[in-house]
Amino acid sequence: MAPTEHTGLLPSNGSRSYNGSGDAEAPRAQLPFRKRFRAFVVADGEPGWIASYRYFFFNSWFNVLLVFVPLCAIAHHLNWDVALRFSFSFLAIMPLAKLLGDSTEQMSASLGQTLAGLLNASFGNAVEIIVGIAALLRDEIRIVQTSMLGSILSNILLVLGCSFLAAGYVRKESIFQVTPAQA
């Protein structure tokens, strides 16, 4: 039977898994919970949940600092010394920012160039957004203004200047695509 728009491309028609010998196996809902869970966690041909978590949490020694995330919450709720709470928060935000950047890169790999740029621009400034919202909730307008000014100066002057310097060091003349350069 030839596939139509209502039939699946695989011989199993999507409701049964295909074992390669021409026979369809039992529907997934009839499998025991342990096998369904294992099929959900361990994907065939691509990394599953366990491999993804293992990559994100154990690919760098920098992630050892994730220990400070719960310590920061405990220190806040038990009203420990302010300097200790700040130190825990400072040490906790570094691996979290790295994990956010890695997650953004992984999501951008499956999106188009435009959506990936929007995603990177949005989540690239997540720390500034969180600090800004927390400062606004406490009516600290000066902190929000200086944070925004620092972010703008950093992104426009420092990053763009370093990019131009590195491009000028490698090439005599750079070529840009017209549409992204206008944005």
In the prediction, which pLDDT does 34 show?
79
Q: Report domain extents, the chain.
A: 125-173
Two tokens, residue 86: 């700040």
pLDDT digits (tens, 9 = 90+) for 40-92: 666 666 667 777 777 777 888 888 899 999 999 999 999 999 999 999 999 99
Q: Is 73 exposed, middle or buried (0-12, 13-18, 19+ CB in 10 A)?
A: middle
User: pLDDT tier at 21 (50, 70, 90 boundaries)?
Assistant: very low
Please answer whether residues 104 and 119 qualify as being in contact, where contact means their C-beta atoms are separated by less than 8 angstroms. Answer: yes
pLDDT digits (tens, 9 = 90+) for 124-179: 778 788 888 999 999 999 999 998 898 888 878 888 888 889 988 888 887 878 88
d(CA 5, CA 79): 62
d(CA 91, CA 134): 18
- Is 0.85 surpassed by the pTM of this model? no
d(CA 128, CA 31): 47
d(CA 105, CA 52): 13
The angle formed by the CA atoms of residues 138, 68 and 84, to the nearest 5 degrees, is: 60
In the prediction, which pLDDT does 17 show?
46
